[in-house]
Every structure is written in structure tokens, then in C-alpha cells.
Amino acid sequence: MYSVALEFETEQAMQAAADKLWNKHGITGELEMFPTPSGAFRLHIYSEKPIKDSILEKLPGKRVQIKGSFGSAVRAEVPSGDN
């Protein structure tokens, strides 16, 4: 899986970019959209295939570093039947 993050000034610009990636360019995988604490809007793209740089350069968002725990293991307690 390939990952890229873009940041936008408005939610509408973020949604338009996501729609363009999904519908026009056929990007498949997962798209995660959320507001940031600074007031911007971030689009995380977890694509099944690499996205050409020429496609990313045409989008209005600013490319940013992804910080996250996608796919990281989380410890879980398993209840025992002896209690």
C-alpha cells in the first residue's frame, strides 16, 4: 500500500480532490479526511497502487508528511476463564 497526505485550506477543496482521485483517476484503497487542529483539512490517501507524481502535482493541496499509527499493533487484554 502506498500513502500520501495532502493538506487543503477548505473542506470543499479537499472533497473535490478526493472525488477527482477516486472518480477520474481510478485511485483505489482508503481515503481518510479530517480537519486539523490548525484549521486546515487533511486528506490521507492509502492507495493500492502508486500514484503518478504528475497527478499529485495537479491537485490544489499541499503535500505533507503523514504521522500516524496505521496498521500498528495495539496490546489487548484477553479475559481468562479461571476467574
From first to last of its 83 residues, the chain has per-residue pLDDT tens of 789 999 999 999 999 999 999 999 999 999 999 999 999 999 999 999 999 999 999 998 999 987 655 554 444 444 555 54
With H, G, I as helix, E, B as strand and everything else as coil, classify residue 15: helix
Give the neighbor-by-neighbor strand order of the sheet with 2-8.
29-35, 41-47, 2-8, 62-64
With H, G, I as helix, E, B as strand and everything else as coil, classify residue 25: coil
Q: E strands within the chain?
A: 2-8, 29-35, 41-47, 62-64
Q: Where are the domains of the chain?
A: 2-64
With H, G, I as helix, E, B as strand and everything else as coil, classify residue 83: coil
CATH code at 2-64: 3.30.70.260
Q: What is the pTM of this model?
A: 0.74
